[in-house]
Amino acid sequence: MSRPDLSQAHAVPLDSPRSTRLPDRPNYAALIVLATCSFIYVTAEMLPVGLLPQISSDLGVTEAQVGLLLTSYAAVAAVTTIPMTALTMRFPRHQLLAGTLAVFVVAQLLAAFAPSLTVLSLARVFSAAAHGVFWAIVAPIAQRLAPPTMSGKATAWVFTGSSLAMVLGAPIATVVGQATSWRTAVVCVAAVGAISLVCILVVVPHLPVLPRDASVTLKGQMLAAGRQIRSRATLPGCVITLTAVIGQFAAYTYIAPLVRRDGGLDGRALAVLLLGFGIAGVCGNLIAGRFIDRRPDLVMLAIFGTMAAAMAVLVSVPGAVITVLAVLVWGLASSPMSMALQAAVIRRAPLSQDAAASVQVVAFQIGIGSGALIGERLYGQGYLALLPLLGAVMTALAFLLAARARETFPRHPVQHVEAMH
């Protein structure tokens, strides 16, 4: 089977003979910058998780209400991803990356000085809008920066940044927030975002608009996204994504009160545990990255099965040692989940990468928002123990769905999949 041209990583005019040239090797410098961007986006989105007590005390609201910051963020990202991706289709990718980071930095500075939960939520709206566009374009960009035979590994490189956000971003933000204030932690995130913006301008090569995207209109992209939603190429992956992510974030959003209940872990102990969660996640990404191009179906099944088992352990009150071990295993499995899911969706729709990726991002964000909202309802009513149970059940269901639809996780790009009518 011949493979479509998925790569145009060199800065050349569209009418140049080199405009369709495939890269001979991965552009590691640019991939590292993309990984850094994914690092700060995930750090900013997840920052309230480790600082629930500090934010709730400062703003005079409950911890459950602070958890809704993830719901509102995800809701905005879900609603804006497809139209914003469509409206920015004609922008060169390197310029669009820089634009999303500029919006991100401004949004973080606004959040740092928010006087109330409402204002903080509004500030995060701007970050969420940029977030959706970033995650819709980052995997296709990564694939343009590497040969097609290494597209999975290139995507894994970028998504390692999100794992490092768990290793460094979330724990450091938690420690900084506890030592000073949560506002200082947000300012630090904005500073890292500004540095990343400079790196994009210096390191990421010119990525001109692909010929297939040059004439795309808003209506055309919306129709393309609609086709992807109904397509056999995209729909199964999005359903699996939604199912697994609801389970993940129903429990993970409230990991602070959960481990406080199970193991008496709070304050710096919580920060250290989040550090361990992230370190395990990096190991999971590295392991998954070695096999994702050879057996993506088995990688996905291993991820879901391990996540379900780890969260099931937390349903009871297992004590400090078992709690720590379960959380570490949970981090090992859950970190490569997003990378594996998006890589699968893009491989199933190689000729409509941006549309497919944007639809998958919407499914992911709906999953985050729904999971956090369900978690808030249960936690607010005193049913904290049900959160890991819900997480285990939903990821077990995702395991069954993935097992019945292994064609959703192909080893190579699929040129054509018949749409559902």
Residue 4 is assigned to a structural domain of this protein: no
Other Cβ atoms closer than 10 A to 63: 18
For residue 381, being part of any structural domain is answered with: yes
pLDDT tens for residues 39-62?
A: 999 899 889 988 888 899 999 998
pTM of the model: 0.74
Asked if residue 416 is part of any domain, the answer here is no
Secondary structure class of 336 (helix, strand, coil): coil
In the chain, the number of structural domains is: 1
In this structure, is residue 62 part of a structural domain?
yes
- How much is the pLDDT for 19? 36
pLDDT score at 145: 81
Q: Is residue 9 part of a domain?
A: no
- Inside any domain, residue 247: yes
Q: What is the CATH number of the domain that holds 199?
A: 1.20.1250.20
pLDDT in tens, 213-251: 555 555 665 566 566 556 666 778 889 999 999 999 999
Residue 220 lies in a domain: yes
The DSSP call for residue 419 is B
* Between 307 and 77, residue with greater pLDDT: 307
Contacts by residues 19-26 (CB-CB < 8 Å, ≥ 24 positions apart): 19/208, 19/211, 22/147, 22/148, 23/144, 23/145, 23/146, 23/147, 24/147, 25/146, 25/147, 26/145, 26/146, 26/147, 26/150, 26/153, 26/154, 26/157
**69-113 residue pLDDT tens:** 988 888 888 888 778 877 777 788 888 899 999 999 999 999 999
- In tens, the pLDDT along 146-178 reads 887 777 778 777 877 877 777 677 778 888 888
User: Left if phi > 0, otherwise alpha if psi is -120 to 50, otherwise beta: which for 158?
Assistant: alpha
Question: Which residue shows structure tokens 């938690």?
Answer: 174
Higher-confidence residue of 129 and 85: namely 129
The residue to which tokens 């859950």 are assigned:
334
Determine the structural domain holding residue 74 and report its residue range: 24-408
CA distance 223 to 91: 19
Q: What's the rounded mean pLDDT across residues 305-333? A: 92
Q: How confident is the model at residue 319 (pLDDT cuts 50, 70, 90)?
A: confident
The pLDDT of residue 267 is 76
Those residues whose C-beta lies under 8 Å from the C-beta of residue 41, and which sit 6 or more positions away, are 104, 131, 134, 135, 162, 165
Torsion of CA 48, 53, 58, 59, to 10 degrees: 60
Give the residue from 85, 107, 109 showing the smallest Cα distance to 97.
Answer: 85
Type of residue at 388: P
Domain assignment of residue 369, yes or no: yes
For 419, phi then psi, to 5°, come to -75, 155
> Is the pLDDT score of 347 beyond 80?
no
